[in-house]
Amino acid sequence: MLKNDLFLRALKGEPTERVPVWMMRQAGRYLPDYMKLKAKYDFFTRVQTPELAAEITLQPIDQVGVDAAIIFSDILVIPQAMGVEVLMEEGKGPHLPKVIANQKDIDALITTGAEQSLDYVYKALSLTKNQLGGRVPLIGFAGAPWTILCYMVEGKGSKTWEKAKQFAYTQTREAHSLLEKITNITIEYLKNQVKAGADAVQVFDSWAGSLSPEDFNTFSKPYLVRIAEELKGYAPVILFPKGSWYALEDLSKSGASALGVDWTVSPAMARQFTGNRITLQGNFDPAKLLSPIPEIEKAVNKMIDGFGTQRYIANLGHGITPNIPVEHAKAFVEAVKNYKAKN
């Protein structure tokens, strides 16, 4: 039994006595205790060792006071499960030496049962669930198919995702074949995460915003919608199409339980696009956590004034960055908890 189910009630559209809050990348480099483990174990050791992943996942719960835990992992475990090598280079981000360039590369990917190789994630979830002891709900996650394709085709991070888009625009059939495969595995992966203890799952479409509305409708939306539909009966799904303000309206009718919103959409506009059909989550600019604490408090109050206190989960509009003082992260969480409606 959960002692604090504010987050899940907000996801279900049920009334909440106060706004639940968590932060994307809350188990991460801004936390000194995380840095201690980072000094001892490399990235994929931390991800693949259930005891370490659980320990890291739990750190922000007591230290920052968030209303949900999110399993420490990475979206690129899916390409790994498909047989693609992923290197994590310190200070440089991910590197996939062998990129997908054609149908032959796609045919060579592991598909059937690929999600079974991610057993360490399920173990980490079960262990975390156990150690949480019902304090707060546990969130599982995956990358959106378009975002995973971006990395698999580009081989590393990019400002423009030109190669990924070139692949989509010139080898459209192949792109859909790859997106299909990623989607199938992601659905099984997320179902397994729920079976292992995740109370909800979030799908990160971090590079959705590289696409025009029309191309988003072609290369991203259908796969997000399929994931949301297939997860019904398993757990609530949060879709986060970063940079794609134009997708909010359509996705509010997708069967997902909530949508993530980034800071380029004002709370009022986000509600306008989604017509109060769905729970919204977001959208504090992480860079704004560098502001003096009284400014953070003011901005949090304004954000909640805009979204309203119901069908709303306070969060950042993107992951918290390593340069944020822990006291500022705490101030953000506290400001949400202390929010008093004006009327």
CB of 39 to a second copy, least distance (A): 23
37: exposed, middle or buried (Cβ count in 10 Å: 0-12, 13-18, 19+): middle
Q: How far apart are CA 81 and CA 112, in angstroms?
A: 10
Q: Which of 44, 309, 321, 337 binds a second copy (CB under 8 A)?
A: 321
Q: Which of 52, 87, 269, 326 binds a second copy (CB under 8 A)?
A: 269
Q: How far apart are CA 335 and CA 343, in angstroms?
A: 17
95 touches a second copy (CB under 8 A): no
Q: Which of 49, 111, 131, 264 binds a second copy (CB under 8 A)?
A: 264
Instruction: Supply the DSSP string of 69-110, one letter for each residue.
Output: EE----TTHHHHHTT---EEETTTEEE-SS---SHHHHHTS-
How far lies 103's CA from each of 99, 173, 220, 223, 228, in Å? Answer: 12, 9, 19, 19, 27
CB of 290 to a second copy, least distance (A): 4
Q: How far apart are CA 57 and CA 163, in angstroms?
A: 34
How far lies 45's CA from each of 42, 53, 59, in Å? Answer: 5, 9, 17
Between 7 and 30, whose beta carbon lies closer to a second copy?
30
Between 232 and 253, whose beta carbon lies closer to a second copy?
253
Q: Which residue has the tokens 């936390």?
A: 31
Between 88 and 287, whose beta carbon lies closer to a second copy?
287
Which residues are registered as beta bridge partners of 93?
89
226 touches a second copy (CB under 8 A): no
Q: Which of 209, 222, 255, 308 binds a second copy (CB under 8 A)?
A: 209
Return the range that interacts with a second copy (CB under 8 A); candidates 25-33, 82-90, 166-174, 192-200. 166-174
323 touches a second copy (CB under 8 A): yes
214 touches a second copy (CB under 8 A): yes
Q: Which of 45, 103, 116, 166 binds a second copy (CB under 8 A)?
A: 166
94 touches a second copy (CB under 8 A): no
CB of 224 to a second copy, least distance (A): 17
In the chain, at which residue ranges do the beta strands (DSSP E only) sit? 69-70, 87-89, 93-95, 138-143, 200-205, 237-241, 258-261, 279-284, 312-316
301 touches a second copy (CB under 8 A): no
113 touches a second copy (CB under 8 A): no
Between 137 and 243, whose beta carbon lies closer to a second copy?
243
- H or E element that contains 329: helix 326-337
Q: Which of 159, 173, 340, 342 binds a second copy (CB under 8 A)?
A: 159
Return the range that interacts with a second copy (CB under 8 A); candidates 67-75, 83-91, 315-323, 334-342. 315-323
Phi, psi for residue 330 in degrees, rounded to 5: -65, -40
CB atoms within 10 A of CB 25: 18
43: exposed, middle or buried (Cβ count in 10 Å: 0-12, 13-18, 19+): middle
Contacting positions for a second copy (CB under 8 A): 157, 159-162, 165-166, 169-170, 209, 211-215, 243-246, 263-266, 269, 285, 287-288, 290-292, 295, 302, 317, 321, 323
